[in-house]
Each structure stands twice: as C-alpha cells, then as structure tokens.
A and B are shown apart, each in its own frame.
Chain A
Amino acid sequence: EVQLVQSGAEVKKPGESLKISCKGSGYRFTTYWIAWVRQMPGKGLEWMGIINPGDSDTRYSPSFQGQVAISADKSITTAYLQWSSLKASDYGMYYCARRSSDVSTWTLDYWGQGTLVTVSS
C-alpha cells in the first residue's frame, strides 16, 4: 500500500527555521517525484515545488522560489520542505503528494495527511 506519512504539527516564532518531512512507503521511492502543496486557512491549494528523489532534480513555483527549500534523502525514503526564516504568512497546512507514474503529466495521485505549521510570536 502506497503511503506518505508527514511529520507532526509545528508551532514556531517568526524568524525561526523549520524542516518538515514526508516519508514514502509501499512503492519505489526513487521512481516517483514528490510535490509540496500549501493550503492557507480556508483557502485553496497552491503548488510550491517538486523533487525527483532519484537525482534530486527540483522545480519550484516562482511564487515560492527562494522562500523554501525542497530536498530528499532516498536512503530513508523521505522528502523535506524547509524554511530558513519563517514569517507569520507561512501559517498553513502543507501537503506532500506523489506524482503519478505517467511522466507526460504532472498528476498527484497519493497525498500525505498534511502538516500544520503555525507561526506566531
């Protein structure tokens, strides 16, 4: 069974750093890209970026380029989303999702349960 299990909720202060994780299991981790998607409270879905865990090829949405860093450690089948200096506006739910095997399309077929990030002084 394909599973993406994300790390737990975080409460941080503005200016602090944070790294959240997404562990894949039940499939060959290096074969499928992993995306990160933000959902601010009461709002829609925003694609942040995507990484190929096999070779670490990473693409970012222009809206998030330079604001976050996406990485992966294939030895432990885990992808990461990282901030070096959080802002209050980073408050939201963050989902990881797997890109489907059809490489002609950027379809997200399995999703993690989400990690809630709260940033407050």
Chain B
Amino acid sequence: DIQMTQSPSSLSASVGDRVTITCRASQYLTRYLNWYQQKPGKAPKLLIYSASSLQSGVPSRFSGSGSGTDFTLTISSLQPEDFATYYCQQSYINPLTFGGGTKVEIK
C-alpha cells in the first residue's frame, strides 16, 4: 500500500494567517493527490483534486501544489469557517490511502 504522511498533525493559527500543510507519499503519484476538509461531526468534503484543481464551489483561498511524492495545501488567508481537519488522499491506485490528518485550530 502507498503510505501517506501529513505534517504537521496539528497547528494553531489566527484568522487571516497563511497556512501550509504538507503531504508526502511513499511512492510516486504523478499528480494523483486529493485534499479533503472535515469539520467535527460532518462528512469529509473534497477541496482539491489532481493536486491543484479546485473543486467547484470551494473558495479560491484554498490551493494545492506538488507532484511526484510531495504535495502542499495552502490556505492563503484563514477564515473562521476553515478551522477543521484536513486529509490528503492518493487517488492513483487501490487501495486508496489517506494521510493521518492535520487539525487546524484557533490560536
């Protein structure tokens, strides 16, 4: 299985901050990497697919970059509704695997 490692596992940030989350894959993925947001008690929501494509309806302050084994999710200016847990997922090969998650908390 492809192992996905996210860092950090948690972070504290203030509204308006720029936030960066990284995801590293144990195998080469080209650009088959997605990002999801999960709020407490809710289902995950697709934010970014194919490393850098914004899912319809997702605010443009979210962006993704990277290819191969190293990927990044950036929130350019953190908003109150962005406090959540973020997961990367490789979409290259079964079994699909997720990173361990990054919890973004209010500073």
Contacts and interface: CB of A to CB of B under 8 A. Distances in A.
Contacts, number: 66
Interface of B: 1, 32, 34, 36, 38, 43-46, 49-50, 55, 87, 89, 91-101
B46 A109 contact: yes
B43 A111 contact: yes
From DSSP, what is the main secondary structure of chain B's interface residues? Answer: loop
Given A44-B100, A112-B43, A114-B43, A107 B95 contact: no
A91 interface: no
Interface in A94-119: 95, 97, 100, 102, 105-114
B101 A44 contact: yes
Given A44-B101, A47-B96, A111 B45 contact: yes
Interface residues of A, number: 25
Contact of B43 (A61, A63, A95, A105): A95
